[in-house]
């Protein structure tokens, strides 16, 4: 029954209710020592990590010595602005890998190679996050419950071996006492340098640690960051990267290992292997790699892939930086004698290393059903071009709606975006109305599977803020787990409007829709004789954050959904709204929507048991 089916997908109450990524040297590295040049410490360091973490020049903040001269942004402000601009999306939106399917494939190839068994085979599956247990150990990259302790340990681990970082942490503890942040904060920087000298790069790390403690005390009045345990992922990252010397890698380690969130830190091994796999372009730096993986890798795979890529980068002869292997196997030579040899790399055996150009695109098409699929093929020419049928040539009753629905369901996000561009007669990367563009808003179209874990949290948070009270007062009740399943279903598509870039990864509004079929009854103007269902674009949710509910975002999203329905040759747009959400009901009527004949409110036997309406707007193909 339509009413029963519809009750699980209420759109219910729709209250209308980039800066470029900076070069690594401009980012957030540990500051250089202020003391005169001295003999290089005998610590081996990785050049890529040095460029990312240690070479940024931290200048004294301009205090405007010349009267009236503008004050330059501090390093912390520049870094935070860079993070906010970068976290909104991948710096390489057209790079096809990794797809969700390939990320899963690589995780299991590496997992099985390094001794992890599938649960179906009696194993525990891929590596899983466990609560911090490193309190009684020295060193580590965040495996302790104290956020401040985790941050400082991770800083000490940068650009050195585990042995050296553990030695530096032990020396720090012996000198000042365990987690005696007050003593470290009060001590001169030179004393801290001597305490951690054995770990390498002591001048840089001491300045960073002192800065973290000073900024923490100044901002919070105490030397603790444990409030971050209850903050959102984005709030945690923003606070941590605002510290001079703390970049996405350190912040992501703390986020993943201390706080237990889905985050994939990019260390030297992860960075090297991601380039070998073709998951990022050759020109990518480490911070860009982090932002790209943040968008592309499914949340549940971020922790296991981080662990496995590091493990593989250290132990595989083919993939380690020095060609050193600790993964061995016993084989027989030609004379039948047992020989211990390096175990062959499974990534190389699977053909996943060294791919370029067309090979990357082919890999994406093989592993991602929603990526790059063509809407319809021309069998006579043998090409796979999108077939465009002009409404001016073909009459409404001649349209093959079933084929149109099949095409719409497999269309990629980029193909849908091009539909909006074409309908609005523009090639602009941001095809919003001129007024919204001028105000700094931007448009994204994404499949549910393409949303990062952080984006999903923001989407649901906005939905909950707008709708929780209405659902509690309805016959449906508030069932968050069911709503999450509905929102992020495999067929769900999202049109997201972002606020100006300075607000970071926030969402000003979104529409969630699907291409589907719906039951049709007598009186439906889109129905052909004898039909009992029609092809539609169903608008499940349209949510605008309260600060933007008078900015015209609701109408813009409604227009985009209608445009996509028309371009995909659906018959009508449908939606559901609570009866008691009077502003939304009136808004939809103003947009040309009316109650659908299939709505349970039109059934005399059922109308008394529901408190919502199903509404529709017929799509006309004539211009």
Q: How far is CA 52 from CA 3, 29, 77, 155, in A?
A: 57, 6, 18, 13
Residues 566, 551: Cα–Cα separation, whole Å:
25
Question: What φ, ψ does residue 338 adopt, rounded to 5°?
Answer: -75, 135
DSSP strand pairing (572-578 vs 533-544): parallel
Predicted local distance difference test score (pLDDT) of residue 540: 96
Predicted local distance difference test score (pLDDT) of residue 324: 64
Residues 273, 297: Cα–Cα separation, whole Å:
15
Residues 148, 167: Cα–Cα separation, whole Å:
19
Predicted local distance difference test score (pLDDT) of residue 44: 45
For 31-57+75-86+130-259, CATH gives 1.10.340.30
| Residues making up the chain, counted from first to last | 623
Predicted local distance difference test score (pLDDT) of residue 359: 78
Annotation marks residue 249 as catalytic: yes
Q: Where are the domains of the chain?
A: 2-16+397-618, 31-57+75-86+130-259, 98-128+263-368
Element containing residue 410 per DSSP (H, E): helix 401-410
Q: How far is the first Cα of the chain from the last one, in angstroms, to the nearest whole number?
A: 35
Burial 558-597 (b: 16+ CB within 10 A, else e): bbbbbbbbbbbbbbbbbbbbbeebeebbebbeebebebbb
Look up residue 531 and give its DSSP letter.
-
For 98-128+263-368, CATH gives 1.10.1670
Predicted local distance difference test score (pLDDT) of residue 341: 67
Predicted local distance difference test score (pLDDT) of residue 363: 77
Q: How far is CA 562 from CA 515, 539, 557, in A?
A: 12, 9, 9
Options 3.30.1370.60, 3.40.630.30, 3.40.50.300, 3.40.50.2300; CATH for 2-16+397-618 is: 3.40.630.30
Predicted local distance difference test score (pLDDT) of residue 333: 58
What secondary structure does DSSP assign to 267-304, as a single string? -HHHHHHHHHTTSS-TT--HHHHHHHHHHHS-HHHHHH
Instruction: Write the burial class of residue 42 (CB in 10 Å: 0-12 exposed, 13-18 middle, 19+ buried).
Output: exposed
| Low pLDDT (below 50) residues in the chain | 1-68, 369-395, 623
Residues 311, 319: Cα–Cα separation, whole Å:
10
Joined tokens for residue 311: 């493990």
Burial 364-392 (b: 16+ CB within 10 A, else e): beebbbbbbbbbbeeeeeeeeeeeeeeee
Catalytic residue among 79, 84, 210, 249: 249
- Report which of 461, 594, 485, 608 is spatially closest to residue 540, judged by C-alpha positions: 485
């Amino acid at each position: 029954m339509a009413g029963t089916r519809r009750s699980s997908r209420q759109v219910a109450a729709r209250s209308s209710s980039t800066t470029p990524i900076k070069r690594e040297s401009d980012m957030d590295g540990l500051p250089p020592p202020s003391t005169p040049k001295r003999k290089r410490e005998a610590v081996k360091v990785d050049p890529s990590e040095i460029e990312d973490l240690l070479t940024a020049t931290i200048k004294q903040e301009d205090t405007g010595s010349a009267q009236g001269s503008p004050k330059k942004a501090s390093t912390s402000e520049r870094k935070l602005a860079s993070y906010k601009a970068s976290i909104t999306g991948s710096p390489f939106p057209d790079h096809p890998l990794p797809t969700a399917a390939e990320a899963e494939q690589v995780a299991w190839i590496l997992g099985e190679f390094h001794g992890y068994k599938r649960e179906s085979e009696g194993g525990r599956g891929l590596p899983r996050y466990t609560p911090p247990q490193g309190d009684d150990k020295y060193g580590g990259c965040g495996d302790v419950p104290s956020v401040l302790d985790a941050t400082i340990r991770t800083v000490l681990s940068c650009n050195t071996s585990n042995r050296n970082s553990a030695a530096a942490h032990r020396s720090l503890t012996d000198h000042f006492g365990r987690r005696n942040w007050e003593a470290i904060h009060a001590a001169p920087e030179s004393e801290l340098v001597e305490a951690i000298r054995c770990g390498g790069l002591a001048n840089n790390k001491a300045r960073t640690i002192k800065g973290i403690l000073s900024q923490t005390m100044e901002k919070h009045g105490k030397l603790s960051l444990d409030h971050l345990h209850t903050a959102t992922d984005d709030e945690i990252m923003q606070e941590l990267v605002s510290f001079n010397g703390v970049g996405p890698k350190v912040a992501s380690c703390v986020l993943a290992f201390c706080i237990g969130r889905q985050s994939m830190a990019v260390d030297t091994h992860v960075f090297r292997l991601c380039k070998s796999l073709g998951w990022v372009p050759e020109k990518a730096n480490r911070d860009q790699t982090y932002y790209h993986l943040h968008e592309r890798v499914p949340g549940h795979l971020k922790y296991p892939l981080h662990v496995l890529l590091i493990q593989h980068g250290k132990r595989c002869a083919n993939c380690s930086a020095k060609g050193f292997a600790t993964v061995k196997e016993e084989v027989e030579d030609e004379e039948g004698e047992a020989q211990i040899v390096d175990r062959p790399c499974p990534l190389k055996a699977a053909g996943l290393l060294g791919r370029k150009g067309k090979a990357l695109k082919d890999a994406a098409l093989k592993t991602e059903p929603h990526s790059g699929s063509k809407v319809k093929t021309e069998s006579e020419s043998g090409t796979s071009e999108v077939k465009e049928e002009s409404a001016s040539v073909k009459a409404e009753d001649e349209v093959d709606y079933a084929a149109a629905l099949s095409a719409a369901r497999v269309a990629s996000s980029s193909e849908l975006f091009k539909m909006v561009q074409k309908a609005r007669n523009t090639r602009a990367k941001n095809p919003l109305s001129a007024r919204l563009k001028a105000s700094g808003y931007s448009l994204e179209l994404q499949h549910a599977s393409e949303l990062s874990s952080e984006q999903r949290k923001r989407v649901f948070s906005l939905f909950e803020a707008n709708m929780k009270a209405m659902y509690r007062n309805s016959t449906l009740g508030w069932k968050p787990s069911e709503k999450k399943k509905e929102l992020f279903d495999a067929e769900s598509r999202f049109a997201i409007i972002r606020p100006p870039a300075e607000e970071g990864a926030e969402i000003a509004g979104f529409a969630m829709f699907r291409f589907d079929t719906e039951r049709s009854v007598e009186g439906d103007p889109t129905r052909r004789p004898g039909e009992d269902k029609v092809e539609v674009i169903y608008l499940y949710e349209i949510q605008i954050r309260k600060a933007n509910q008078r900015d015209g975002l609701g109408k813009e999203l409604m227009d985009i959904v209608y445009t996509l329905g028309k371009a995909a040759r659906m018959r009508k747009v449908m939606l559901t709204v609570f009866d008691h959400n009077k502003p939304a009901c009136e808004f939809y009527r103003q947009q040309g929507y009316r109650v659908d004949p299939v709505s349970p409110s039109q059934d005399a036997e059922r109308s008394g048991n529901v408190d919502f309406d199903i509404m529709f707007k017929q799509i006309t193909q004539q211009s």
